[in-house]
């Protein structure tokens, strides 16, 4: 393991959505200290690893309950559209960018209690009137898009009063946004030789994750499920840190300079025989096993 990284056991989800409860993760010392202060990690000592094995089922059950709650809320919020009045010039340029607090307040007025940390970073910032999309993270594995209609205060009184009145439809998603939606929370499988104790013989680097995602995009393109076919580089992946052990990691993939970001789960699994692999991946579920046959990246 590099001297510039440390291992931690997560006892609660990472609030950034990068990692999940029950994971053993490799972190930079600074980020590890940050999570330590939030009291959601413990050091990956032999004693704590044994404790994790004893309590893993409880941790996973608690996480699954939170996941189900988030999915129910996501189904309620599906298709939500919010109107936020803001001062702007004649060209529609806002005098100040929309911030997370305004989105949280608009959601609250619509009946949804969301805190500011759940609103994902607005990149690029919202600086014009019209339709925009923000994303709210309800769980490390559940993100819901929110359509925002930014209008000048004088236009609010002229807004339609009835649901069947005509209104401006949100713009159709761009091909790159369609790709981001397609990739969002899609598993990425990387087969890596291990030492038999769960550690990979060669660390899985950001470029390996980028190659695996590019292979997946190629598969979607071959099936004519998408119309764009970008090559992903390691600079587009966050966090871009080596993976030293078998397990999973949540990464953010910035597909373009626009707000086209996908959140994906990377599974690093032993590159062993097919029959043994099927048993080793039992916990990953059928969709991941199908993906292994379809677009897994083999580092052997």
Total tally of structural domains belonging to the chain: 3
Q: How high is the pLDDT of residue 264?
A: 83
Single residue among 47, 75, 103 that ends a domain in this structure: 75
Query: Who has greater pLDDT, 32 or 146?
Result: 146
- pLDDT more than 90, % of the chain: 7
Closest CA to 195 of 292, 300, 270: 270
Based on the domain organization, do 167 and 180 belong to the same domain?
no
Based on the domain organization, do 49 and 69 belong to the same domain?
yes
Both tokens of 257, joined, read 């300079």
pLDDT at 161 over 50: no
Alpha carbon distance 49, 34 (integer Å): 21
Based on the domain organization, do 37 and 58 belong to the same domain?
yes
Range of the domain at 239: 173-300
Single residue among 124, 155, 171 that ends a domain in this structure: 171
CA 73 to chain centre: 17
Both tokens of 189, joined, read 């499988």
Based on the domain organization, do 2 and 92 belong to the same domain?
no
Q: Which residue's structure tokens are 């071959």? A: 222
Based on the domain organization, do 279 and 182 belong to the same domain?
yes
Average the pLDDT over 275-285 and give the result.
41
pLDDT at 211 over 50: yes
Classify the phi-psi angles of 247: left when phi > 0, otherwise alpha if psi is within -120 to 50, otherwise beta. left
Lowest pLDDT segment from 124-133, 210-219, 223-232, 283-292: 283-292
Give the model's confidence band at 149: pLDDT under 50 very low, under 70 low, under 90 confident, else very high. very high
pLDDT at 41 over 80: no
Both tokens of 124, joined, read 């690029």
Based on the domain organization, do 166 and 177 belong to the same domain?
no
Based on the domain organization, do 248 and 201 belong to the same domain?
yes
Average the pLDDT over 89-109 and give the result.
89
Based on the domain organization, do 147 and 179 belong to the same domain?
no
Based on the domain organization, do 181 and 257 belong to the same domain?
yes
Average the pLDDT over 64-85 and give the result.
88
CATH number at residue 270: 3.10.430.100
For residue 135, the surrounding DSSP H or E stretch is: strand 130-139
pLDDT tens, 183-207? 877 788 888 888 877 788 888 888 8
Alpha carbon distance 288, 273 (integer Å): 16
Single residue among 75, 107, 123 that ends a domain in this structure: 75
Q: How many CB atoms lie within 10 A of CB 21?
A: 20
């Amino acid at each position: 393991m590099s001297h510039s990284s440390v291992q931690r056991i997560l006892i609660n989800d990472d609030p950034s959505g990068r990692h999940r409860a029950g994971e053993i993760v490799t972190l930079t010392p600074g980020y590890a200290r940050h999570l330590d202060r939030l009291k959601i990690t413990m050091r990956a000592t032999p004693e704590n690893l044994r404790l994790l094995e004893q309590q893993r089922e409880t941790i996973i059950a608690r996480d699954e309950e939170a996941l189900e709650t988030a999915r129910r809320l996501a189904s309620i919020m599906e298709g939500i559209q919010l109107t936020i009045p803001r001062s702007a010039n004649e060209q529609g340029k806002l005098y100040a960018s929309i911030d997370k607090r305004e989105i949280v307040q608009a959601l609250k007025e619509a009946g949804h209690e969301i805190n500011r940390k759940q609103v994902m970073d607005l990149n690029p910032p919202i600086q014009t009137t019209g339709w925009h999309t923000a994303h709210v993270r309800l769980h490390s594995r559940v993100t819901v898009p929110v359509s925002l209609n930014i209008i000048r205060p004088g236009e609010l009184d002229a807004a339609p009063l009835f649901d069947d009145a005509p209104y401006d439809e949100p713009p159709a998603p761009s091909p790159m946004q369609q790709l981001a939606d397609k990739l969002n929370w899609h598993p990425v499988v990387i087969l890596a030789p291990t030492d038999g104790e769960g550690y990979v013989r060669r660390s899985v680097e950001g470029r390996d994750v980028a190659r695996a995602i590019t292979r997946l995009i190629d598969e979607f393109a071959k099936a004519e499920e998408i119309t764009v076919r970008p090559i992903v580089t390691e600079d587009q992946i966050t966090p871009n840190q080596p993976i030293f052990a078998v397990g999973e990691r949540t990464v953010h993939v910035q597909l373009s300079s626009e707000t086209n970001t996908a959140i994906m789960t990377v599974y690093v699994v032993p590159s062993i025989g097919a029959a043994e692999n099927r048993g080793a991946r039992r916990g990953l579920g059928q969709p991941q096993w199908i993906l292994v046959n379809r677009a897994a990246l083999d580092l052997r």
